[in-house]
Amino acid sequence: MKEEEWDYPHTMYGCNKLYCEKLGMYYGKFFGQKHLDENPPVMLDFRAIRFPGLISAFTLPSGGTSDYGPEMLHASAQGKPYACFVRADTKISFMAMPDAIKSLLVLMDVPREKLSNTVYNIAAFALTAEEFRQRALKAFPDAKITFDPNPRRQGIVDSWPEDVDDARARKDWNWTPDYDVDKFFDEYFLPEIRKRYGK
């Protein structure tokens, strides 16, 4: 998914995100409209990141549409059954929270002349819901995870891309995530889940 694709949101949340991007672009490029204003204002250096589903090892999932993955593991670690609200073949991009923070800090420091765009996709790894389930079963063999798709939530996820193209970020500001899928589970997420629940 390039920055110009998939930007027809199906939710108010998505509409507001796109609105903020467009507003930032307006203030960065067109505010004052040079030909209308004798003293055009200094333009805003607007920069934005489109994040995949962010997962923190230190906070509980809060019911977001992409939270089914971490919810599986939190439930499994507690010995609770979990009914996933999307289909097993549902696939979207995810990212560890430290990489999200890193991306903001890196993008802030890039000289403006090196940026070819104002809005950037970033990516780390993409997983299906079934792949998340398999990770949960590997870590917690007694996990009881089923699939009970909610048509409305499934519809929202189906309106998202399965993965995103972050080639512009990689080219313009050398974006690379620190956590691939294995490092995310083995070094970041699962150790903290085990610590939280004494597993």
Residues annotated as part of the active site = 13
Burial class (CB in 10 A: 0-12, 13-18, 19+), 165: middle
- Give residue for tokens 């199906």: 10
Whole-number Å distance between alpha carbons of 64 and 25? 27
What are the structure tokens assigned to 53, written together?
Answer: 């589903």
CA quadruple 105, 107, 111, 114: dihedral, nearest 10: 160
